[in-house]
Amino acid sequence: MGGNFAAHIDEGIVLVVLALWWMYNIYKNYIQSLHENLPYRSHCSYYFMFKGRRLPLELMLKILFPVAGKNGNYQHIDKLVHISIFALFILHGVSDSLEYSKLPSIKGMKYFTFATAFIWYGVGFYFHSMPDIGRPPLENILHRFLIPLLLISGLAMLFEYGFRNNILPQIVRCFSVLCAGEWIILTSFLLFLPTPFPGSRRNPAWNEYEISNVRFMEVAIAFLLAANITFMIVSYTMMALYLKYAREWCQKRDRIKYTYAPLTDFDES
């Protein structure tokens, strides 16, 4: 991550958007498979349907965001490890695009590249938060909590490929990426002031050497995990109920439509 507000906030927002996009499509496909009594099938990425055509908006985001980051908000990065993280995500976008375009590619390579990108993402945060590099304790703990979330995200991708008919690895992926994105957004506000853009000034409201602030973050991450588990349970239930009653309403409407008998002409009666 770069040392300013913008470099943190946009990265967190992208991860949250991806997690919610995956969650919506995973829930929809899973509910449909249950309704039609068909085996569930997971996917590495999902496409936006527009007028019957598949638009690879997710693939474009995976490729363009790291490229923009390297040339925009992250132009002052002084560690090559950050650039290597972005490069791995770009390679994943390229490998996913090859399969989308039906060009020759190794089967499952998009899962491998995505898993590698997230695992190295977590390793990068480990080096970023090592105690002997002189960073404040609060900054270290904020970055250290991301390590397991990112490593689990990468491992979940590998399990997805091995268990394509099981929804659980995808749920783990969504949960871990969602938590990581939200935590990065929280980190941006704790460490930096948003203005003046890109927000390079440190936030004076949080003493980064105060141990009580570090302990508070340990509690905050636990509540974040619990809140996201609750959100995933509630959102699935609401989506399942909505699709159920929407389907029943459509079926009822079709029955009314096809059983409707118009009145006879009064002039002929």
CA separation for the pair 244, 230 (Å, rounded): 21
H or E element, residue 120: helix 109-128
The two three-digit tokens of residue 230, written as one number? 């609750």
For residue range 156-205, list pLDDT tens digits in order: 999 999 999 999 999 999 999 999 999 999 999 999 999 888 888 999 99
Q: How many domains does the chain have?
A: 1
Tell me the whole-structure pTM to 2 decimals. 0.86
Q: Is residue 264 part of a domain?
A: no
Which pLDDT does position 260 carry in this prediction?
A: 38
Place of tokens 């019957």: 52
Q: Is residue 228 part of a domain?
A: yes
Which pLDDT does position 101 carry in this prediction?
A: 87
**Around 99, how many Cα atoms within 13 Å sit in the side-chain half-sphere?**
18
Q: Is residue 269 part of a domain?
A: no
| Residues 6+ away with beta carbon under 8 Å from 41 | 29, 33, 164, 165
| Residues 6+ away with beta carbon under 8 Å from 257 | none
Q: Is residue 101 part of a domain?
A: yes
**Ramachandran class of 46: left when φ > 0, alpha when ψ lies in -120 to 50, beta otherwise:** beta
Is the distance from CB of 128 to CB of 143 less than 8 angstroms? yes
Name the residue range of residue 140's domain.
5-257
